[in-house]
Amino acid sequence: MAGASKGGKGGKNAKTKKDAGHSRPQYAMRVVDSATCAVCKSQCERGLRYLAKMAEPGAVGKGVPCILTRKLIN
């Protein structure tokens, strides 16, 4: 079919924006490494688990989200 195009503006497949008031709040947390968890004043369960995992020989980690640095984003 000549002239038919997908994904153009307007058509019946156009997506509508969802109302932001009905969605759950979203949070952002910093990813910290085991050195940060080790010196933390209020160590959480997730951080202690990560510390134990990183204490094993040959362990490679990419960090863990810190619940104490949680910030609300929209």
Would you list the domain boundaries of the chain? Answer: 33-73
Q: How far is CA 33 from CA 2, 6, 42, 51, 59, in A?
A: 57, 46, 15, 9, 12
pLDDT tens by residue, 3-36: 665 666 666 776 666 665 668 899 999 999 999 9
Which helix or strand (DSSP H or E) is residue 67 part of?
none
pLDDT tens by residue, 28-74: 999 999 999 999 999 999 999 999 999 999 999 999 999 999 999 97
pTM as predicted: 0.61
Write down the pLDDT at residue 20.
55
Q: Can you tell me the distance from the alpha carbon of 11 to that of 19, in angstroms, rounded to the nearest whole number?
A: 21
Angle in degrees, CA 53, 59, 62, rounded to 5: 85
